[in-house]
């Protein structure tokens, strides 16, 4: 039996989408108005994002009407296509580079015809892991059939993405790990994983390992530790983004300077309409407004996990866990970067940050959650 979609989850997602579009318009018009590549069109980013939002909402509603069990059959092919796309990005001349990062496929020089395979890979991992874990059941506690094949796939995805897109690698690992835990892997592997992540985190953040051995992204760790330290050149060249983000956040105070009235978005804060859009939220809406938006995200995440607990079957439950974990991790990591709680990983904020591929796929994922919610049995009256 198929009932109505879950209205609380739908309304929370649509509220965040609406607020996100308003904030994107406010944050993006100064840089768009000064950019010859977009024809000095102040509304360029907003119009593109609104277009993708419209397509995404249509896809979300269409997806919500599909029986989510139809994804079980093609799950392996979805994962394989995701991996092929990830490999193509790494091929010189095929992957497209923007802002010193090679993350895109499509038509060179035409942003409208480009997309990020890492976004597709997140959805691919969620669907495949949900199908595989739900079919194995008790075998998930075993090494050979449960833990090993899933961790190999997960690490392969992390390695393919990690070199050019650290945040994408972190997200995919977190999503897959959460689904494996919920899927019932042995507690020993959970303990070993937590210990490994904790140890690696300590080595990366609090030792000179990155600087002396790996020599990769070491400057981000240095900036995170003390963005206001070092020489003026260090502050201007390497720590500028973090310093400007903290200034933007602090400028808002309790109630903010007012919607549309941010000063930092006028060429001071880099990526103001993308990874650092929440800093503009802090400045314009203040701590109160930012907290209310974080509360909306929290309610969406809590409602998602509630739907996962009450899903009709294991496959549906794992699908919702994957999508909700992605939203939760991405939201936490983005706000943590904006406030310098963690080093900058270049991570976007769901429903807010500019990016057509990401927004469209996020709305498709919302549609999958709504599809699962339509098969939840309603509680009996009385």
**Cβ atoms within 10 Å of 254's Cβ, excluding its own:** 8
Q: How far is it, in rounded angstroms, from Cα 204 to Cα 171?
A: 17
What sign does the dihedral 97-333-266-258 (CA atoms) show? positive
**SS3 labels along 151-185:** HHHHHHHHHHHHCCCHHHHHHHHHHHHHHHHHHCC
Q: Say what the pLDDT of residue 110 is.
A: 67
Q: Is 97 helix (H, G, I), strand (E, B) or coil?
A: strand
Per-residue model confidence (pLDDT) at position 246: 97
Q: What is the reported pLDDT for 211?
A: 58
- What residues are paired with 115 via a beta bridge? 105
Rounded CA-CA distance 172/132 in Å is: 16
Q: What is the pLDDT of residue 133?
A: 96
Backbone angles phi, psi at 349, to 5 degrees: -100, 125
Pairing of strands 114-115, 96-98: unpaired
Helix-then-strand count for the chain, H and E = 14, 3
Backbone angles phi, psi at 375, to 5 degrees: -105, 10
pLDDT digits (tens, 9 = 90+) for 123-168: 999 999 999 999 998 889 999 889 999 999 999 999 998 876 778 8
332 CA to centre of own chain: 9
pLDDT score at 209:
62
Question: Using H for helix, E for strand and C for coil, what is the string for 302-348?
Answer: HHHHHHHHCCCCHHHHHHHHHHHHHHHHHHHHHHHHHCCCCCCCCCC
Task: Return the CA Rg of the chain.
Answer: 21
Neighbour-count burial of 318, counting CB atoms closer than 10 A to its CB (0-12 exposed, 13-18 middle, 19+ buried): buried
CB distance 344 to 335 below 8 Å: no
- Is residue 224 within 8 Å of 340, Cβ to Cβ? yes
Q: Which residues of the chain have pLDDT under 50?
A: 1, 381-382
Collapsing DSSP states into helix, strand and coil, what is residue 114?
Answer: strand
Q: How deeply is 208 buried, as exposed, middle or buried, from its count of CB atoms within 10 A (0-12, 13-18, 19+)? A: exposed
Torsion of CA 45, 50, 52, 53, to 10 degrees: 140
**Whole-structure pTM value:** 0.93
| Cβ neighbours for 166, distance < 8 A, ≥ 6 positions apart | 217, 345, 346
* pLDDT at residue number 107: 74
């Amino acid at each position: 039996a198929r009932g109505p979609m879950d209205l609380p989850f739908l309304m929370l997602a649509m509220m965040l989408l609406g607020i996100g579009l308003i904030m994107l318009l406010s944050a993006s018009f100064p840089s768009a108005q000064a950019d010859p590549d977009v024809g000095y069109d102040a509304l360029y980013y907003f119009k593109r994002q609104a277009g993708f939002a419209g397509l995404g909402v249509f896809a979300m509603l269409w997806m919500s009407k599909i029986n989510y069990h139809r994804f079980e059959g093609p799950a392996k092919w979805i994962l394989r296509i995701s991996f092929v796309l990830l490999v193509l990005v790494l091929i010189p001349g095929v992957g497209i580079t923007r802002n010193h990062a090679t993350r895109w496929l499509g038509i060179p020089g035409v942003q409208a015809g480009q997309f990020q395979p890492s976004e597709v890979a997140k959805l691919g991992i969620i669907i495949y892991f949900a199908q595989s874990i739900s079919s194995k059941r008790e075998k998930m506690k075993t090494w050979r059939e449960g833990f090993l094949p899933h961790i190999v796939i997960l690490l392969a995805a992390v390695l393919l993405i990690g070199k050019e897109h650290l945040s994408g690698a972190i997200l995919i690992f977190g999503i897959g790990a959460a689904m494996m835990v919920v899927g019932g892997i042995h507690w020993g592997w959970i303990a070993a994983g937590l210990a490994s992540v904790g140890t690696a985190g300590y080595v990366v953040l609090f030792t000179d390992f990155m600087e002396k051995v790996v020599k990769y992204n070491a400057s981000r760790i240095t900036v995170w530790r003390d963005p206001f330290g070092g020489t003026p050149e260090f502050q201007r060249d390497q720590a500028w983004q973090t310093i400007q983000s903290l200034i933007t956040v602090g400028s808002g105070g309790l109630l903010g300077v007012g919607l549309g009235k941010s000063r930092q978005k006028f060429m001071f804060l880099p990526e103001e309409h993308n990874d650092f859009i929440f800093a503009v939220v802090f400045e314009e809406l203040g701590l109160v407004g930012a907290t209310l938006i974080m509360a909306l995200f929290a309610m969406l995440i809590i409602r998602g996990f509630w739907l996962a607990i009450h899903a009709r079957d294991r496959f549906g439950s794992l699908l919702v866990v994957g999508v909700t974990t992605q939203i939760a991790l991405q939201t936490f990591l983005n706000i943590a970067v904006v406030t310098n709680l963690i080093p900058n990983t270049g991570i976007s904020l769901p429903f807010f940050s500019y990016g057509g591929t990401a927004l469209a796929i996020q709305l498709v994922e919302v549609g999958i959650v709504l599809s699962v919610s339509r098969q939840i049995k309603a509680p009996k009256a009385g």
